[in-house]
Chains A and B, each alone.
Chain A
Amino acid sequence: MYLLDAFSYLDNVATLQNMLAMLVGVTVGLVIGAIPGLSPPMAIALMIPISFNFPPATALILLVSCFAAGIYGGSFSAILLRAPGTSASAASAIEGYEMTKRGRAIQAIRISTFASVIGGLISGVVLLLLAPPLATISLWFGPAEYFFVALLGLTAIASVAFGSLTKGLISGLLGLFLSTFGIDTYSGFPRLTFDFVGLESGFDIMPAIIGLFAFAQGLELCEGDASGNISGVKKLSWNIWPKYSEIYHVRWSLVRGWVTGLVMGIIPAAGGSVAQWIAYAWEIRRAKPDDKFGKGEIKGLAATEGSNNGVTGTSLIPMFVLGIPGGISAAVILGALMIHGLQPGMRLFKTSPDVIYTIMWGFLFANVLMGFIAVFLARAMAYLTLFPRGIIGPLIMIFSVIGTYASTNNIYEVWIMLGFGVGGYYLTKLNFVPAGILLGIILGPIAENGLRDLLTVSHGAPISFILGRPIALALIICIILAIYYSLKPKKWDEEEDEVLKSEK
């Protein structure tokens, strides 16, 4: 039924106007996404007034193209400079930048592009064909499920700590603590602000990411030899087309990343910034003896990059079908829908199928276009890794400050970002885990509100309540497995130990 409907609108998308909208959306998205601090929701919001001049389908194609490309654009700066452009690309900064440091920047971009484009396409196909049935699933997620999704995300801390589990957990707890600052919705009263208005907005994700990753990275580049460059090579290979052997090597990592992204996308408010960490942790737990996680393992990058674009299409499902936007970008797109006179909901599929399916096809095409444009942009950006560290370091710091101010218009947020930057720099030196702090900040509010809501809706009897909820139980099993695999001594470790013993 949907299938036939969907295909009959394929030709609508292929107008010059729609293609131009896609081109503009993708280009703006890639550029704004790549700049730390300037995020896809902001790019989309800025384009809404422009979109008034177009018919609804074209206008929405412009916005969804910008959304998909924005998420992907964030990966460039994450991989090449360790300065993630969006919150959905923070995890890619870890393995991606390690690859860049080892002179494998182009390989990293190659895999990232492949994982993102194909992930976006799969996600778009799911959006096109399965939106109505999948939207029902997103309604199954209530307080209990959100609480456990957040806990599952938090188990990733054990994986990204790379051996220093205690320091990883301390970092995670620090992040959770920081996430409690600011207005508390249950009392309407600000917590831990010490009557200081700058703390009333709490510690937002964006300044934390820019500080912990980008600014700290800028500081690090400023130490030591200022004339050396990031990649350590003089020339970059320009082979942007992925090799079959490369893809084959990471095939299961890609699949795991895409699946994580598709599933997390359907859950409103979880989205890309959580999916990437779950996918990454999943990879680390499945590591083979010769995998080098934390030191530029391509499998890790394939999974994080696959997951954050796998999210894009499915995260639009609850927005189109139920009018429930899964994130800020989707909320801005929902607003645009309304302004163009399209009321989101199942009715939209009946009253304006031409518009909605044209938008979905537009999303698919935009993902392909994104791949082509990305190749050119990524090449240009990769040159940055050949510049002296003494130039790139300060540039990253300047952009961190400008980006934070531009996206929040709030000078306090700039100070908070600087705090995270300097703190993150020293904590990294002491082997603490910035990713752990970030996970705490992202997941703290989801876990806290989930738990409080759970205690309310279960009328104080959460355990018997959870027993009647299959998804919550499944999530608990995932959490137990995740903890088990994180703590289980790895086989090769034992073998190595035995070898060492026998040598003695």
Chain B
Amino acid sequence: MGFTFKKSIKYLSVVVATAVMAGALSQAALAQKFPSKPVQVVVPFKPGGGADRTFRLFAPYLAKELGVPVNVTNIAGGGGWVAWAQMAKWDPNKDDHKLGVINLPHVLSLLDPRMKRKQTLKSFNFLAWHSLDPCIWAIREGDERFSTGKQFIDYVMKNPNKIVMSTTAVGSDDHMGIAFAEKFIKGFHVKKVYANGDSKKIQEVLGKHTDAVAGNVGYYVPYFMDAKLKPIFVLSLERSPNLPSVPTFFEVTGLKNVSYAGRTLATAPGMSDAKRKIYLDAIKRAIENPEYMAKEAKNKNPLLFKESAELWKTLNESKAMVQKVKFWEGAK
């Protein structure tokens, strides 16, 4: 045997030294170029949902701008909080190749005193607003009891707790809109059936198991085009360009019931301004890429880019709304 223990130690030390040097070199390279390796976009829900779909669409365009591959990673659970709890603790050096998706108003369940969350909005390093899809209420096409928002509200007032609405879980944007109506319209009381996603809700209302559904414009437009469901309100102050003939909740009732599914991108708290700027510029350019915009138009996801002061203004408005509705009060 020519290969002795001593010799192998020698070889081993050469290998280790090479590896260390290679590591040092790559460290040096990193200082010059950022990002230096694939970037992870963390989606806090399972594959198949709206957020997952949007960011899988977005990833190749962001990759083009950043010059490195961008991968979507799903960390699901706890209504988003398994991922968000991690994002609040990301290290600005170790986790600098991660971007996190934070959904509004869902993340504001941190205001729910029952949750005893340690995080506040300031715990996250929000980079940019990415998209905003207003809430909508819809009924079945051809329902004899009501065909407009006004008629629907009148019917509910005359028959309190007789109408059943399908909505996403307590604390979601869909539930927030209903909680607002119940809190600020005297005598407006509906029963609610909760779901974790839109497919269950659509099945319930189409199958006449429930009477109305609370969802988002983007997701529901195809069902309106198919003449299966009929939109009665948009929960925003202005009408949706996708549904110009549908009135807002404000127009019909005079109440500012504003609710939407918002998606933002965040990075590790405390990240250096230089790195932050690289991400922010890349996100901005990717969102404004006409090819990506055309794809999201097909996907019916309304894009909306906002940064710094404007971004925080919308975040704080969202927070004020949740504090006003206090959705947890109605939940058992």
Contacts and interface: CB of A to CB of B under 8 A. Distances in A.
B157 interface: no
Given A323-B222, A338-B300, A339-B53, A410 B75 contact: yes
Given A45-B52, A139-B203, A338-B300, A185 B169 contact: yes
B95 interface: no
Most buried by A among B60, B199, B295: B199
Interface stretch (B13-21, B126-134, B223-231, B309-317): B223-231
A328 B332 contact: no
Interface in A198-232: 198, 200-202, 204
Contact of A183 (B59, B79, B332): B79
Task: Please classify how large the interface on chain B is, using the bins under 10, 10 to 19, 20 to 34, 35 or more.
Answer: 35 or more
A408 B171 CA distance: 24
Interface stretch (B24-32, B146-154, B205-213, B238-246): B205-213
Interface residues of A, number: 59
B298 interface: yes
Contacts of B53: 335, 338-339
A45 B47 contact: yes
A331 B203 contact: no
Interface string B25-65: 00000000000000000100011110011001101100000
A19 B49 CA distance: 29
Contacts of B193: 143, 453, 456-457
Contacts of B48: 41, 45, 325, 328-329, 331-332, 334-335
Contact of A201 (B78, B171, B191, B204): B78
A187 B74 CA distance: 24
A335 B52 contact: yes
Contacts of A331: 47-49, 197, 199
A197 B164 contact: no
Given A142-B204, A335-B53, A339-B53, A195 B116 contact: yes
A344 interface: yes
Contacts of B192: 456
Contact of B170 (A52, A142, A185, A197): A185
A160 B102 CA distance: 43
Interface in A42-66: 42, 44-45, 48-49, 52
Contacts of B332: 186-187
A295 B175 CA distance: 50
A341 B210 CA distance: 29
Nearest to B60: A49
Contacts of B259: none
Contacts, number: 172
Interface string A432-465: 0000000000000000010001001101000000
A141 B207 contact: yes
A139 B116 CA distance: 40
B203 A318 contact: yes
A322 interface: yes
B194 A185 contact: yes
A375 B57 CA distance: 36
Nearest to B84: A197
B222 A269 contact: no
B224 to A, nearest CB: 10
Nearest 7 A-B pairs (CB), nearest first? A201-B77, A200-B78, A188-B170, A331-B48, A142-B209, A139-B207, A188-B171
Interface of B: 42, 46-49, 52-53, 56-57, 59-60, 72-79, 81-82, 85, 109, 112, 114-116, 161-162, 164, 168-171, 175, 191-197, 199-200, 202-204, 206-210, 222-223, 225-226, 228, 295, 298-300, 327-328, 331-332
Given A186-B332, A200-B82, A338-B53, 8 more contacts: A186-B169, A197-B81, A323-B199, A323-B222, A334-B48, A339-B53, A456-B164, A457-B210
